[in-house]
Amino acid sequence: MKTIIEPFRIKVVEPIRMTTGGERERILRDAGFNPFLIHADDVLIDLLTDSGTGAMSSLQWSGVMRGDESYAGARSWFALEAKVRELTGFEHILPTHQGRASERILFELLGGPGKVVPNNNHFDTTRANVEHSGAQAVDLVIEEGRHPRSRHPFKGNMDLARLEALLEAEGTKAGSREGAERGARRSDEGTKTRNDEHNAAAAPRLRARVPLVMCTITNNSGGGQPVSLENLRGVRALCDRYGVPFFLDACRFAENAYFIKLREPGQQNRSVREIVREIFDLADGATISAKKDGLVNIGGLLLIRDKELMRRADELLILTEGYVTYGGLAGRDLEAMAQGFEEVVHEDYLQYRIRSTAYLGEKLLAAGIQIVEPPGGHAIYIDAAAFCPHIPPAQFPGQALVCGLYRHAGIRAVEIGSVMFGGPGRPPPAMELVRLAIPRRVYTQSHIDYVVEAIIELYGQRDRLRGLEIIEQPPTLRHFTARFREL
Ligand SMILES: Cc1ncc(COP(=O)(O)O)c(C=O)c1O
C-alpha cells in the first residue's frame, strides 16, 4: 500500500472554534498584527510551534493517573530513568522542567567570559544561555545548510573543516606551542610519544577556551534538517583529537535517527533504536527538551557522563529546579515522559511523522511555492522573500505572510526573519522565512490539506499582501510582543 495512515485512532477530541473572515480581521488588528498576541481559541490551525503542543497517547494519560507524587525517590522517576538509560546508555540523568533549564545549568557550569561554544546552529534559547554566561556562540553548519534550494540530504551537518580550524585557532590562543591540543583521548594510547604527552597536558588549556562542542539534532534554526551519523562521528573524532567534550542538543533525536535510516548509505537495515543508541554513544552529554521527541507537554533532561560535572549539576538543579528525582516536574509528568520516550522510537510513528511533514512541503513546492528544501522533520519553512517579492525586508515580508495566513484561513504560523532576528544594531538575517511547525499527532491529513489550499489561494493573491511597520517593541526578543501597523 502506498498510503501511509495516521498510526492511531482518536479517542478524545478538542473542538476548533470556527471564525469568519470579518472576525479575524478585527482580532488581527486588536493583536497589533502579531499572531503571538492572538488568543489560541481564535486560531483554527495552530502551527506556531511543535514544542509541547503534541497529543499524548492513551498509555501516557493512564501514566498520568499512575504518577507517583513522592518528593524523593518516586516510582515515576525510576520508570523515566530506566527508559532513558535503555535508549541512550547514559548512567547519569537529570530531569528538568524544559530544555532551556538544562541549558542554563550546563552553561552555568561550563560557560563564562572569553569562552567559545561551537554548534552547527544554536537554537535561540541555547545561544541566549551561552551568551548570558558571557561566552560566544559560533554557528558552523555546512554551506549547503544556508541555502533554501540546496537538497543536500543532511543540511544540518557541522562543517568539520571549520570546526577543526576553530579548535586550532583557539588552541594557539590558549598558548600551546604547536597550536593544536591533540592527544588527550587518542585511540592510539599504546603508541604514546613525548609529543602526545605534551598535547594531553595542553588539552585543559584548550578546554578553558572551548569548554564543549555542541551539535543540534535535528537543526531547528536551519530548517529542521538532520545531521548524518558520519558527520557526528567526525565531530566526535575531532573532539577526541583536541580533548574537548562533545554534547548534543538532542530535542529531536528520534526524527534525526529516522532520517539517518532513510537517507544514510548502509543504515537502512538498522533499527531506529540502534541508531539512537549509536548517536548518544558518541556524546559526553546532552540537553533535551522532552516537549518535542519526549511526546509530552512539559519536561526536559540533562545527560552528563562525567561524574564530577554531574555532581555539580545536581547541586544547581536542587538550587533552582527541584530535587534530583523530580527536577521541577510532577510525578505524572515523569510518567508521561517515560512512555513518550518509548513511543517516539516506534518506526510506524516516525514514518507517519516524517512523511506527513514532507506531504505539506511537497504540495507547496508543486504549486510553485518556494520552501526550504528538502522538507525538514518538524516543520516546513516558506521562503517569504520569494512569496512576496514586492515587500522589502525592512517592511517584514514574513510578518506580512503570517498576517495574510491568519486573515485568510485562521492559520497561525511564525515569522523567522527580520522581525525575529533584526533590530537596531543587528545585521539583517540571511533569509526571510515563515515556519509552519507541525504539532505531533494533533492534526489529520484534511487539516493539512486545508493549510495547503489556504497557502495556494493566498499565493494567487500575493500582490495584495502589505508590508508592515513596527509601532511598539521591547528591547529584546521583540517578535513575541511587538505591535505593527499595515502600510
Ligand atoms: C533545538 C532546540 N533546542 C532547545 C530548545 C529549548 O527547549 P524548551 O523550549 O523546552 O526550553 C528548543 C525548543 O524549541 C529547540 O528546538
Distance from CA of residue 415 to its chain's centroid? 16
What pLDDT, on the 0 to 100 scale, is given for residue 173?
85
Please, which pLDDT band fits residue 181 given cuts at 50, 70 and 90?
Answer: very low
Q: Give distance in angstroms: CA of 290 to centre of ligand 1.
A: 9
pLDDT at 37 over 80: yes
The sign of the dihedral angle between the CA atoms of 223, 131, 477, 101 is positive
Provide the 3-class DSSP secondary structure of residue 237: helix
Question: What digits encode the pLDDT tens for the residues 423-437?
Answer: 887 778 878 999 999
Q: Which residues contact 235 (CB under 8 A, 6 or more apart)?
A: 158, 160, 163, 213, 215, 246, 282
Nearest CA to ligand 1 atom 9: 99
Q: In the prediction, which pLDDT does 187 show? A: 41
Which ranges constitute the DSSP H helices of 324-417?
A: 331-343, 347-366, 384-387, 397-409
CB 298 within 8 A of CB 30: no
Q: How far is the CA of 289 from the centre of ligand 1 (A)?
A: 6
- pTM for the complete prediction? 0.92
Which of 104, 125, 218, 435 is the pocket-test mutation for ligand 1 (most atoms within 8 Å of CB)?
125
For residue 252 and ligand 1, the question of a CB distance below 6 A is answered with: no
> Is the pLDDT score of 71 beyond 80?
yes
- pLDDT of 185 reads 45
User: What is the Å distance from ligand 1's center to 123 Cα?
Assistant: 7
Percent of the chain at pLDDT above 70? 95
* Rounded distance from Cα 351 to ligand 1 centre (Å): 23
- pLDDT, residue 194, reads 44
**pLDDT at residue 83 greater than cutoff 60:** yes
104 Cβ closer than 6 Å to some ligand 1 atom: no
Q: How many residues does the chain have?
A: 487
183: cell is 592527544
Query: Among the listed ranges 182-186, 360-364, 417-421, which one has the minimum average pLDDT value?
Result: 182-186
173 burial (CB, 10 Å; 0-12 / 13-18 / 19+) is middle
Mean pLDDT calculated for residue range 392-413: 97
Element housing 319 (H / E): helix 307-320
Is the distance from the beta carbon of residue 300 to the nearest atom of ligand 1 less than 6 Å?
yes
Predicted confidence at residue 197, as pLDDT, reads 52
- Give the model's pLDDT for residue 386: 95
Q: How much is the pLDDT for 16? A: 96
**By alpha-carbon position, which residue is closest to atom 13 of ligand 1?**
51
Q: What is the average pLDDT score of the chain?
A: 93
| Other residues' Cβ atoms within 10 Å of the Cβ of residue 332 | 18
pLDDT exceeds 90 at position 202: no
Cβ of 289 below 6 Å from ligand 1: yes
List Cα–Cα distances, 172 to 169, 181, 208, in angstroms. Answer: 5, 9, 13
CA distances 142 to 120, 152, 205, 219, 449, Å, are 8, 10, 27, 12, 33
In the chain, pLDDT over 90 holds for what percent of residues? 85
249 within ligand 1 shell (Cβ under 6 A): yes
Judged against a pLDDT cut of 80, whether residue 176 lies above it is answered with no
The residue behind cell 573532539 is 239
Region 171-188: what's the mean pLDDT?
A: 56
Report the DSSP beta bridge partners of residue 437. 379
Per-residue pLDDT of 283-323, as tens digits, reads 999 999 999 999 999 999 999 999 999 999 999 999 999 99
| Residue 130 identity (one-letter amino acid) | V
Confidence band for 415, pLDDT divided at 50, 70 and 90: very high
Q: Whose CA is nearest to atom 3 of ligand 1?
A: 123
In which band, very low, low, confident or very high, does the pLDDT at 18 lie, cut at 50, 70 and 90?
Answer: very high
pLDDT category of residue 190 using cuts at 50, 70 and 90 = very low
Kindly tell me if the per-residue pLDDT of 343 is higher than 50: yes
Q: Ligand 1 center to residue 423 CA distance, Å?
A: 23
* Overall average pLDDT of the 476-487 stretch: 91
**Radius of gyration in angstroms for the set of CA atoms belonging to the chain, rounded to a whole number:** 23
pLDDT band with cut points at 50, 70 and 90 for residue 68: very high
Ligand 1 centroid from CA 179, angstroms: 35
Task: Quote the pLDDT of residue 361.
Answer: 97
Q: Which is the closest atom of ligand 1 to the Cα of 291? A: 10
Residue 304's contacts (CB-CB under 8 Å, 6 or more residues apart) are 90, 92, 94, 284, 285, 310, 313
At residue 186 the predicted structure's pLDDT band, cuts being 50, 70 and 90, is very low
Nearest-angstrom CA–CA distance, 169 and 136: 15
**Dist. CA 142–CA 410, nearest whole Å:** 36
What pLDDT score was predicted for residue 199? 63
C-alpha of residue 317 to centroid of ligand 1, in Å? 18
- Using CA atoms, how far apart are residues 314 and 322, in angstroms rounded to an integer? 9
pLDDT at 193 over 80: no
- Residue 228 Cβ < 6 Å to ligand 1: no
Instruction: Say if ligand 1 is within 6 A of residue 100 CB.
Output: yes
Task: Give the whole-angstrom CA distance, residue 226 versus residue 206.
Answer: 29
Q: What residue ranges define each of the domains in the chain, with the CATH number in brackets?
A: 21-50+346-486 (3.90.1150.10), 59-343 (3.40.640.10)
At 200, the pLDDT band (50, 70, 90 cuts) reads low
Task: Tell me what the mean pLDDT of segment 161-170 comes to.
Answer: 96
Q: Is the CB of 325 under 6 A from ligand 1?
A: no
* Banded pLDDT at 221 (limits 50, 70, 90): confident
CA atoms of 129 and 205, how far apart (whole Å): 23
Gap from CA of 414 to ligand 1 centroid (Å):
15
pLDDT at 422 (0 to 100): 83
Report the atom number in ligand 1 closest to the C-alpha of 290.
Answer: 10
**Pick the residue with more confidence: 330 or 189?**
330
Tell whether the model's pLDDT for residue 445 goes beyond 60.
yes
